[in-house]
């Protein structure tokens, strides 16, 4: 098994990082590339950008950020948000992204997964799944979590992998934002049912949350945003903690 | 001048920038003329086996590559760019590789495929690619289980042990992505730039 990955996620709007950032020594804390470089130097294993811009014009701004990132960052990075078709994949990959994250459009048109995997390879196709508990069990939600579907996250993950997804980014809307830990039940269910890496997302608030998700599920990576942005702890602290707990992580850069 | 060979697919920005960051002078190009002018050649790790070989199988390109080898131009094949130095790949049945070394890239048989993430590469052979076990970033579904005709310079394990790096004099191949492997990757690229 590869080392467990720690992935900071940056929400990008109109070319700027949103959510408060409490870093010192950054000339411009709102510049995604500068923040990504900072995280990379701290030992991040990968960077995730989520574009939450509303308009098409700002797509060009995003692509410029992707290009600048590819120029300066020596670790992999993925880009999601606003990926609607195979052309979105091509634009982002040609700009230098390593992976493209697709969510709502994949639910609406699953063939995009197959088309993108055939053209660019499974390793750059990440399918994001937002799940929430309902009276009838876990259900996939789309459109940033606002629209419920009848899909079960386990069967949707399996279908996405069958179509060619190389990775599943699994966010629990039940735990997201509460800083009380990852959704172990959901993550274990999905990670046990697919044979591609699963990235757990939603709920990190303390060091032991990272340990729990790696010890109790087969997730290969954990994504977090606010704990890093607000400086609750650094990526280096998370990785040193995990290493001390006997979990394999990449250290020593 | 380092030629990053353009198969006409995928992005070459990351590898070009990574080489430039360690002092390389880079040109992205394709075809026999670009090869004639190259001091070093990089086969990047983007696209599929068949797509890469489509770009390389033109007889004039094959000839130019042989000329490069006669001039002892250093080569670095990354991921897929290493696999095409061999005879074939399960990824593209019926497509012939460059055949510089005997062997076939096979689909990984492991709990999770693709193998994505940071894994330790262990030194192997007489000219190991690293001196001690070192993490590099991998993103692949195919691999060389063994390479009988060329010394393994590094090995890795994901479900099974596979060839992580080869080195035969000035021909280097790595299954991982040095351009995405942080400091360790930069050091390796720097060594190639200076060789």
The CATH code of domain B2-194 reads 3.40.50.880
Kindly provide the ipTM of the predicted complex, given to two decimals. 0.92
Active site residue B179: yes
Give the pLDDT confidence of A4-43 residue by residue, as tens digits. 999 999 999 888 888 645 555 666 668 999 999 999 999 9
Q: How far apart are CA A64 and CA B152, in angstroms?
A: 39
Token pair in block for residue B192: 């190639």
Task: Specify burial of residue B72 (Cβ count, 10 A radius: 0-12, 13-18, 19+).
Answer: exposed
A chain contacts of residue B138, beta-carbon cutoff 8 Å: 2
Low-confidence ranges of chain A (pLDDT < 70): 19-29, 54-56, 252-253
* Active-site entry in A11, A51, A91, A176: A11
Helix axes A235-244, A32-42, angle to 10 degrees: 30
Q: How far away is chain B from the Cα of A30, in angstroms, using its nearest Cα? A: 23
Q: Residue A52's pLDDT is what?
A: 86
- In the residue annotation, B79 being an active-site residue is answered as yes
- pTM for this prediction: 0.94
Q: B186 — contact with chain A (CB < 8 Å)?
A: yes
A93/B11 CB distance under 8 A: yes
pLDDT at B96: 97
The alpha carbon of B143 is separated from its chain's Cα centroid by a whole number of angstroms, namely 11
CA distance A200 to A221: 6
Measured in degrees and rounded to the nearest 5, phi and psi for residue B27 equal -130, 130
Please report the pLDDT score of residue A129 as a whole number.
Answer: 98
The per-residue pLDDT for A24 is: 58
pLDDT in the model for residue B93? 95
Are β-strands A167-172 and A125-134 bridged in parallel, bridged antiparallel, or unpaired? parallel
Q: Chain A window 183-202: which residues touch B at a Cβ cutoff of 8 Å? A: 195-197
- The one catalytic residue in B68, B79, B143, B156 is B79
| Predicted pLDDT of residue A58 | 77
Residue B156: what pLDDT?
98
In this prediction, residue A39 carries a pLDDT of 94
Chain A residues closer than 8 Å to B164 by CB: none
Mean pLDDT, consecutive 10-residue stretches, chain B (195 aa), reads 90 93 97 97 91 93 97 97 97 95 95 94 95 96 91 95 96 97 97 96
What pLDDT does A18 receive? 83
């Amino acid at each position: 098994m590869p080392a467990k990955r720690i992935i900071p996620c940056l929400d990008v709007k109109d070319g700027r990082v949103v959510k408060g950032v409490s870093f010192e020594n950054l000339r411009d804390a709102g510049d995604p590339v500068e923040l990504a470089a900072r995280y990379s130097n701290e030992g991040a294993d990968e960077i995730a950008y989520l574009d939450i811009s509303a308009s098409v014009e700002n797509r060009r701004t995003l692509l410029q950020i992707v290009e600048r990132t590819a120029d300066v960052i020596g670790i992999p990075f993925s880009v999601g948000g606003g990926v609607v078709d195979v052309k979105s994949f091509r634009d982002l990959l040609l700009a230098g992204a390593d992976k493209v994250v697709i969510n709502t459009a994949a639910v609406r048109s699953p063939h995009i997964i197959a088309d993108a995997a055939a053209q660019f390879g499974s390793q750059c196709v990440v399918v994001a799944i937002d799940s929430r508990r309902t009276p009838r069990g876990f259900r996939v939600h789309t459109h940033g979590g606002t629209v419920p579907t009848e899909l079960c996250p386990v069967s949707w993950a399996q279908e996405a992998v069958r179509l060619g997804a190389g990775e599943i980014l699994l966010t629990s809307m039940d735990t997201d934002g509460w800083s009380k830990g990852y959704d172990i039940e959901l993550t274990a269910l999905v990670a046990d049912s697919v044979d591609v890496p699963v990235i757990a997302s939603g709920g990190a608030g303390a060091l032991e949350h990272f340990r729990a998700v790696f010890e109790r599920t087969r997730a290969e990576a954990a994504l977090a945003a606010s704990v890093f942005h607000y400086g609750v702890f650094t990526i280096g602290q998370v990785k040193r903690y995990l290493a001390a707990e006997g979990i394999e992580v990449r250290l020593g850069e | 001048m380092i030629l990053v060979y353009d198969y006409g697919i995928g992005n070459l920005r990351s590898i070009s920038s990574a080489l430039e960051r360690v002092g390389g002078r880079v040109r992205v190009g394709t075809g026999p003329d670009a090869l004639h002018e190259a001091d070093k050649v990089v086969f990047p790790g983007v696209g599929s086996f068949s797509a890469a070989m489509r770009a390389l199988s033109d007889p004039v390109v094959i000839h130019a590559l042989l000329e490069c080898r006669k001039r002892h131009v250093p080569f670095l094949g990354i991921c897929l760019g290493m696999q095409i130095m061999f005879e074939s790949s399960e990824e593209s049945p019926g497509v012939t590789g460059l055949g510089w070394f005997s062997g076939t890239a096979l689909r990984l048989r492991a709990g999770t495929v693709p193998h994505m993430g940071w894994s330790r590469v262990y030194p192997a052979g007489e000219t190991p690619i690293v001196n001690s076990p070192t993490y590099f970033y991998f993103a692949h579904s195919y691999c060389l289980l063994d390479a009988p005709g060329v010394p393994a310079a590094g090995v890795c394990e994901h479900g099974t042990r596979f060839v992580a790096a080869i080195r035969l004099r000035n021909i280097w191949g790595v299954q991982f992505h040095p351009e995405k492997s942080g400091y360790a990757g930069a050091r390796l690229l720097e060594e190639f730039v200076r060789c």
